[in-house]
Structure 1
């Protein structure tokens, strides 16, 4: 197994359609903007699961009715969303052995507040 030297952060954020942050994409994004699954050669399964997971973030957190302070809806299972993020990060590391995935999505706590490390 090759040593991991490249980093990819999985971090949903406004204006980042895929929540992927890396300067090490194997296929650079034209113009140097944010990479997506095609830049890393993700499998269709991974790309589809990532899209579903990011849509959950967009629909339940980013579009919260309280725009000044975004929060997760009370009935949304944040723990399951976080567990899916862990599964996706593991899938990425399996598909891209030379990458370490930084799990930026963990900065959300259950109340929806950003916790800075």
Structure 2
């Protein structure tokens, strides 16, 4: 089935340095979307787009790769907001994609 996009897309949700949006998707030979994606590529609602931007900015302002989180309350707020955003994202793209939520700043030694 050359030239046919995948039946289900796989959107990854996680923050990374220097990126405005925590959205990622692996391209395939038949589905070249690049690696970094944006809310408009998925037709996301204005509310989710705004909340996702705030969640990403909150991480950027409060997590240091060497020192970790500024404090536990900031980390917990980011954790709760991220889980809610992941659920909302899955609901908005349910017709064509699955979401993999990968909150790496909450894992391992970054806690």
The alignment partner of 1:15 has SS state of coil
Check whether the contact 2:79–2:106 (CA below 8 A) recurs between aligned residues: no
Check whether the contact 2:13–2:86 (CA below 8 A) recurs between aligned residues: yes
Confirm whether residue 23 of structure 1 aligns to residue 26 of structure 2: yes
Check whether the contact 2:16–2:22 (CA below 8 A) recurs between aligned residues: yes
Gaps of 5+ in 1: none
Counterpart in 1 of 2:3? none
Taking structure 1 as the reference length, what is the TM-score of the superposition? 0.72
Check whether the contact 1:72–1:112 (CA below 8 A) recurs between aligned residues: no
RMSD over aligned Cα atoms: 2.5
Counterpart in 2 of 1:100? 98
Counterpart in 2 of 1:47? 49
Does the C-alpha gap of structure 1 residues 72 and 111 become closer, same or farther in structure 2, counting only changes over 3 Å? farther
Gaps of 5+ in 2: 1-6
